Amino acid sequence: MVFGRSSGYLTLEVIHVQGPVRKRGEVAHITLNRPEVMNAIDLETHQLLRQTWADFRDDSTLRAAIITGAGDEAFCGGADLKTHVPQWLGVPGMHPMGARGKVRDGLGGLTRGMHRIYKPVIAAVNGWALAGGFETALAADIRIASENARFGSFEVRRGFHHADGGVVRLVNTCGVGFASETLLTGEPVDAQRALTANLVSKVVPHGRLLDAAEEMMATILRNDQTALESAKETLFDVIGRPLDEQLAVEAWYGYALMGNEKIPDRLRSFYDKSDKGRAGKNATSL
């Protein structure tokens, strides 16, 4: 396992999140650790990330992940163009058919190829999320932004555009209007604009970013893992379908959960008003 070790490019730590307490256990904290280049993803980091997401997916002791960037400047500056672009420009033997192989291999894995991981993933966006870094943040289920966070799709300035899910996920998350403005102008989006566009779930003071991510993760981890993963799979599978198909997929996946063996115990605590994180007059802690 790579978890709990530092590769130099990635720092990985397994933490159990329960309120303000950080214990080793259920949550993988993944930190892009190349602050000298805005945590850009070179070819080596790309392979390390792919392996990390595969290990996370396959480790039954891990329930969720939080990904962030090292330092205060950047979440991720995207692909390290000095290592990625030469694969495509001016390299003998490289031709457009090579793109067919890339279809199975998105930047860092989570953007494409490893995207069908149904465990929850939160992106704690601590600074600039640019290009492939923007795509990596979009590939997470939930984004929480520092007040210093900035998002940018500047590729059109360089002669290309997103190819690792940035266009698709921006449209699915924020709608065509916001996506069109962001992609076609090549102008940055600050944290508050991102919040109004539903690009991020909340904006918090910079120093509270990881605490806020862990607090939200605690609310996620009170829930049944089978139900969480089925809900995420349902979200993936209804996108882009006609309404009747969406409703059928939701019903199929939702009613299939009635065989979950943990339901009786969870219902009992609900009836007893003792389940975690209740609000109102019967409030309980997480």
From the list 161, 124, 130, the residue with the least C-alpha distance to 144 is 124
Nearest to 15 by CA among 63, 57, 48, 53: 63
Nearest to 70 by CA among 44, 100, 98, 40: 40
135 catalytic residue (yes or no): yes
Q: How many CB atoms lie within 10 A of CB 286?
A: 13
Q: Determine the 3-state secondary structure of 156 from DSSP.
A: helix
Q: Is the dihedral of CA 3, 6, 11, 17 positive or negative?
A: positive
DSSP code per residue over 27-59: EEEEEE--GGGTT-B-HHHHHHHHHHHHHHHH-
> Phi and psi dihedrals of 150, rounded to 5?
-140, 145
Which residue out of 73, 147, 155, 261 is catalytically annotated? Answer: 155
Single out the catalytic residue among 13, 135, 229, 261: 135
3-state secondary structure of 86: helix
In DSSP terms, 67 is beta-bridged to 30, 123
Cα separation, 23 vs 128, in Å, equals: 29
Under 8 Å between Cβ of 166 and 152: no
**What is the spatial distance between Cα 61 and Cα 149, in angstroms, rounded to a whole number?**
31
The tokens describing 271, both together, are 């009836």
Cα torsion 74, 80, 82, 87 to 10°: value is: -160
Encoded amino acid at 28, one letter: A
φ/ψ of 64, rounded to 5, equals -165, 170
Could you give the residue numbers annotated as active site?
Answer: 135, 155
